[in-house]
């Protein structure tokens, strides 16, 4: 997942194939982690519908601690790319609603930021500000050079998601 998130697509695919070959009966690996890796690859290739299809396999495991709330977050990102902000907001809200599973998950503040963007796109400015407030509270002591914080501040000021 780290390789795919960093844009190292071919290496991520190689490692995913290797992992699947080494553990073909590992359901968590194959139906949860590797499905998420495939979705990330699709997102990097700007294939959001394919990402959503890959993530459907993870639904029974979405609230498993192993993925740290990632599948719902990435599903939301795919819906944003498809210009479906209501569906995206539902996925980001799902992350926030279940943050007690993994309160320190990086997906919690990221989902709050993207929920804010999705709600803005639907015209729900008060809801967007409330979501942005979650990220602000989590990142209040973060290093100002922290890239997600910089992206948040840029997108929050302009009213548009910072890509």
pLDDT digits (tens, 9 = 90+) for 122-145: 999 999 999 988 888 888 888 888
Within a domain: residue 132?
A: yes
Q: What pTM value is reported for the model?
A: 0.85
Within a domain: residue 74?
A: no
Report whether 25 contacts 19 (CB < 8 A): no
Within a domain: residue 106?
A: yes
Residues 52 and 114 placed together within one structural domain of the fold: no
Within a domain: residue 77?
A: no
**Residue closest to 138 by CA, chosen among 98, 106, 91, 95:** 106
**Residue closest to 90 by CA, chosen among 109, 73, 113:** 73
Residues 89 and 154 placed together within one structural domain of the fold: yes
Place of tokens 């495939």: 38
- Number of domains into which the chain is organized: 2
Report whether 5 contacts 16 (CB < 8 A): no
pLDDT digits (tens, 9 = 90+) for 27-64: 777 778 888 999 999 999 999 999 999 999 888 888 87
pLDDT digits (tens, 9 = 90+) for 53-109: 999 988 888 887 877 899 999 999 999 999 999 999 999 999 999 999 888 888 999
Within a domain: residue 75?
A: no
Within a domain: residue 66?
A: no
Within a domain: residue 72?
A: no
Report whether 60 contacts 74 (CB < 8 A): no
Domain ranges, residue 48: 1-61
Within a domain: residue 76?
A: no
The pLDDT, as a whole number, for residue 162 is 46
Residues 95 and 158 placed together within one structural domain of the fold: yes
Residues 97 and 153 placed together within one structural domain of the fold: yes
Report whether 77 contacts 88 (CB < 8 A): yes
């Amino acid at each position: 997942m780290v390789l795919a998130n960093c844009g190292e697509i071919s290496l991520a695919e190689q490692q995913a194939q290797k992992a699947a070959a080494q553990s073909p009966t590992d359901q968590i690996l194959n139906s949860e982690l590797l499905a998420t890796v495939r979705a990330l690859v699709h997102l990097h290739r700007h294939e959001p519908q394919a990402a959503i299809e890959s993530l459907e396999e993870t639904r029974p495991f979405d609230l498993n601690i192993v993925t740290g709330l990632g599948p719902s977050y990435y599903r939301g990102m795919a819906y944003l790319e498809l210009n479906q902000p209501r569906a995206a907001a539902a996925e980001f809200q799902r992350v926030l609603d279940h943050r007690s599973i993994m309160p320190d998950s990086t997906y919690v503040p990221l989902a709050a930021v993207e929920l804010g963007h999705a709600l803005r796109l639907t015209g729900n400015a008060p809801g967007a500000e409330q979501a942005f407030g979650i990220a602000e509270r989590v990142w209040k002591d973060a290093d100002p050079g922290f890239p997600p914080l910089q992206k948040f501040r840029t997108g929050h000021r302009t009213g548009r998601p910072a890509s």
